[in-house]
Structure 1
Amino acid sequence: ALGGGSTAPELRAEVEARSASVQPGHCASLIYTSGTTGDPKAVMVSHDNMVWTAASTFSKVFSEGPAAGVLPPENFRVVSYLPLSHVAAQMLDMVTPIVVTGSGNGIGPEMLERQYYTTWFARPDALKGSLPKTLVAARPTVFLGVPRVWEKIKEAMQEVGRKNDPFKQALAFWAKRHALTAAWQRQLGGDGSRSAAYLVARSLILSKVKAALGLDQCLVCITGAAPMPRDVTEYFASLDIDVLDAYGLSETSGGGCFNSPLVHRLG
């Protein structure tokens, strides 16, 4: 704690001195894991662990994105709704915004120099029903959801779809069928082909569906922490949304390995 009763210049000098004493290898955060036995155990994650992981992950998106049809915007946006005590939320919602925005000051990869990153904090009841409204308001460009979150979105969408008249249901089936075929061709091993029917469906139907979800500007949709059911992956692929798998641990500063926009396999 800073000394009580200190003047503003003294406090500023103390903060600057502490900042100057911090080294890249020093501990930046303690992440408590549940542990298999006994009390939760703390993982020490260093500053360079976190900064390197954030910079390298977004550099991958920038380098592959244009080739995959993903054009990075000037302003990245993320919705923070997962517990900030977990490494994934700390990295995506706190550390990465600092790294990407700080790159404009000559820090980090050159490809990030013109971008900045803002975090939208969801309401406390996000996982009880308010998250969809926040997504529509924020229109995130990056969204991480554990499989159960994607499942709940899928279930809500299907419930709405069942209330449509037969013509709209047939139209949706047609659009999703062509979008799923295109998704398989986008993945590793596919030929990248896109039918005229898919392009029409994407422009006239699927773009409106993604806008209703608040994901029409989302460049990277991610899932992790547990296996994603194949039917959920295929459902979102049929909406022209590739949900990319990621794997990591507290000990790896979150991301250990992940699918990228250009090199991925669904499911």
Structure 2
Amino acid sequence: MTTTAELLHESAQEATITRLLRHDAERFPDHPALTSGGTTLTWSRLRAEVATLTRGLAALGIRRGDRVLIAMSKRPEHWITDLAAVHLGALPCSTYDTLSTEQIGHIARHSNASTLVLEGAEQLARWRPVLDDLPNLRTVVVLDPDALPPGDPRFVGYAELRGEPATPDAAFEALTDAVGPTWPLTLVYTSGTTGDPKGVVLSHRNAVYESLAQEHLVPGPEHPRTVAYLPMAHIAERVLGVYLPICNAGHVTTCPDPKQLLPTLLAVRPHGIFGVPRVWEKLVTGLRAELAALPPEHAAPVEAARRAAFEAHRLRAEGAEVPAELAERVRHLDDAVLRPIRAAIGLDECVRAYSGAAPIPVPVLEFLAGLGLPVLEVWGLSETTGAATVSTPDRFATGAVGAAMPGVEVDVAEDGELLVRGPVVCEGYLRADGGIDPVTDGEGWLRTGDVGAIDERGLVTITDRKKELIITDGGKNIAPTKVEALLRAHPLVGQAVVIGDRRPYLTALLVLDEDAAPAWAAAHGITTGLPELAEHAEVLAALDHAVAEANAPLSRAEQVKAHRVLPGPWTAESGELTPKLSLRRKAVAELHAATIDSMYT
């Protein structure tokens, strides 16, 4: 009997993104593919635009193996440029718009890119300081004609490069067919939390297998709607916003400003969404406030529905069967009470809600499950094309990140580090000379750097990053992310960092949430800014209580003995976060050394 993994492998064996794009354009020519700023491209129009720009990029001399850097916001030209480069066998790489000049220089030099595509004056101002240090850079394409520097032959306008609209011709079809499944598809730079970013090279087969496996594990409707709001340089957005929609002929709507996510969700009503924990935490903070304001006659039925939904969720999380009577009651209450609440945030039609990239507080998961929106955790890396393990509605556990996808193996090394092997593991790391260094050992295993365990149901739990484990001066090994997730459960807290490596006890820095903290303050009759809130007696008392609650389920060695409140916000620009919004622990320790030292003196 053929296994699911074998079927997926067979489907991904010869498929490429170029051929799948052609399939969508031929079979669903008039279906929407990409909506941005009120303009929608159908699948046939999107492919025609890709064919047009491919002609222009070829005229620049871009060939197989060339690297093309893209610094644009989420707009159709970003997708078109990326896919046009792919048709030529070039390696496109989207960059974060929060990179410092030093980081831009590292990526530009390491990638050895021949072509850079910029959106406008803002991107040009950030990249201009490094351009003269890139001897292999031949062309800089600029989308905004008003931002083109005069008299510099390296620069060309996007419109000029694009030229007159073209339809896919024989030459373009030949390029489509020439691309092989093992050819490099994209270059994704890691966030560099422990050093310089590494350039992860992913193949067509990596992306297609990942996409098909996700579609198989949690099927959605035909032509599913999704919202692209994460940076295009993020592996999750590359899969969910580019490759998966090409594999399932989905409809992507862009949300260039993450602050407009809620209005976009309300307009699109997506069938699936991936959120880092902060996204879900912010949604829950808003929903809690709305539900707390309900009059008693409306609050009571909501609470009854939430209890029933959560009980069914709890049973499924334990691998137990949900009694038919409870299942029927949940269905009735969901239609009458909970679905309208989900509709208020645009997620009433969502069938795939995922969280990843960091631990999500359990209270957040439980609150959403009680609203009939079970958010399922996934785990993976850029090196595993995104998710290597996936939680599904019939196989999950609170606090676990799911089981290995079909055809993917996950094992635990002797030191607790998780290992991954399978078709989603990347081709390797790009070298500056264009070569690729393998990331696996002789048996094909990738060392992920994450420490975890696998239970009897095959579900994986993540303890922490191997390099982030705290070892106190008493020799206790402590996972900081577990403690930090408990601290972030309070709506006042936007970021929490636990300190204690080679120190006698744990301490924490608590950073106020720039959105939730002012709302919490207003509800408590406090009208002041973040700097004053960080010193306000009532805020400090609330956070003292929050730390005590977080400490309650922890062992003595894991408990936070002292903490300090900072106004924030922390951003990639301020230095404490990576472009992916992960913590830069070394930078935090350096930037806030005096505050940290004050908790040990």
Give the TM-score range, shorter chain: 0.7 to 0.9
Aligned CA distance change for structure 1 residues 14 and 181 (closer, same or farther; 3 Å) = same
Match of 1:3 in 2: 59
Query: Alignment partner for residue 82 of structure 1, among 227, 230, 233?
Result: 230
Flag the 1:238–1:7 CA change in 2: closer, same or farther, 3 A. closer
- In structure 2, stretches of 5+ residues that fail to align are 1-56, 61-160, 400-601
- Residue 205 of structure 2 is aligned to residue 48 of structure 1: yes
How many residues are treated as equivalent by the alignment?
239
Question: In 2, Cα distance between the equivalents of 1:119 and 1:25?
Answer: 26
Correspondence for 1:65: none
2:175 matches 1:21: no
1:157 aligns with 2:287: yes
Distance 1:59 1:198, change over 3 A: closer
The whole-number CA distance in structure 2 between the counterparts of 1:8 and 1:91 is 28
DSSP 3-state at the match of 1:262: coil
| 2:214 match | 57
Alignment partners' CA distance in 2, 1:42 and 1:168? 53
Alignment of 1:96-245 (within 5 A): 96-101=244-249, 117-122=250-255, 124-126=256-258, 128=259, 130-193=260-323, 194-195=325-326, 197-245=329-377
CA distance in 2, matches of 1:41, 1:8: 37
The letter for the 2-side match of 1:119 is: V
**Structure 2 letter corresponding to 1:171:** P
Deviations 1:182-235 (A, max 9, x none): 111233422122525433321210111111121111111000000010000000
Among 387, 393, 404, the residue aligned to 1:261: 393
- The two structures have a TM-score, normalised by structure 2, of 0.38
Q: Is the 8 A contact 1:242 1:266 kept in 2?
A: no
8 Å Cα contact 1:220/1:261 also seen in 2: no
- Which residue type is aligned with residue 251 of structure 2? T
SS of 1:82's equivalent in the other structure is: coil
Partner of 1:112: none
Alignment match, 1:249: 381
Deviates more, 1:86-95 or 1:37-46: 37-46
Separation in structure 1 between the aligned mates of residue 165 and residue 370 of structure 2, nearest angstrom = 58
Distance 1:199 1:59 in 2: 24
Contact 2:318 2:397 in 1 (8 A): yes
Aligned counterparts of 1:8 and 1:210: Cα–Cα separation in 2: 42
| Counterpart residue identity of residue 59, structure 2 | G
Letter aligned with residue 76 of structure 1 = P
The question of whether the paired residues in 1 share the 8 Å contact of 2:269 and 2:346 is answered with yes
Partners of 1:229 and 1:136 in 2: CA distance: 25
Shift of residue 169, structure 1, vs aligned partner: 2.0
Percent identity at matched positions? 36
Structure 1-normalised TM-score?
0.82
Q: Which moved more, 1:35-44 or 1:72-81?
A: 35-44
Distance 1:73 1:57 in 2: 13
Alpha carbons of structure 1 residues 231 and 38: separation in structure 2 relative to 1, 3 Å: closer
Letter in 2 for 1:167: E
Moved more, 18-27 or 230-239: 18-27
Q: Structure 2 CA distance, aligned partners of 1:215 and 1:176?
A: 16
Closer/same/farther in 2, CA of residues 8 and 190 from structure 1, 3 Å limit: closer
What per-residue deviation string (whole Å, max 9, x for no partner) do you get for residues 82-127 of structure 1?
Answer: 01101110000100011112xxxxxxxxxxxxxxx111111x322x
For 2:206, the aligned partner's letter is N
Note the C-alpha offset of 1:39: 2.8
The 3-state SS of whatever aligns with 1:89 is: helix
Report the Cα distance in structure 2 between the residues aligned to 1:59 and 1:182, rounded to whole angstroms. Answer: 24
Note the alpha carbon deviations across 1:30-71, whole angstroms, 9 max, x for none: 000123444321100001000111012211223xxxxxxxxx
The answer on whether the counterparts of 1:28 and 1:47 sit within 8 Å (CA) in structure 2 is: yes
- Deviation at residue 74 of structure 1 after TM alignment: 2.4
Secondary structure (helix, strand or coil) at the match of 1:74 reads: coil
* Structure 1 pair 154–7 and aligned structure 2 pair: CA distance change class (3 A): closer
Cα deviations across residues 125-174 of structure 1 (Å, max 9, x unaligned)?
A: 22x2x211111111111111111100100000111122221222222222
Superposition deviation, residue 13 in structure 1: 5.1
The CA distance in 2 between the partners of 1:28 and 1:189, in whole Å, is 38
- The one-letter amino acid of 1:218's match is C
Q: Partners of 1:135 and 1:17 in 2: how far apart?
A: 39
Match of 2:340, SS state, is helix
Tell me the SS of whatever aligns to 1:255.
strand
In structure 1, distance between residues paired with 2:343 and 2:164? 51
Partners of 1:266 and 1:237 lie apart in 2 by: 10
Unaligned runs of 5+ in 1: 63-71, 102-116
Q: Distance in 2 between matches of 1:200 and 1:60?
A: 26
User: Structure 2: how far apart are the matches of 1:224 and 1:179?
Assistant: 23
Higher strand share: 2
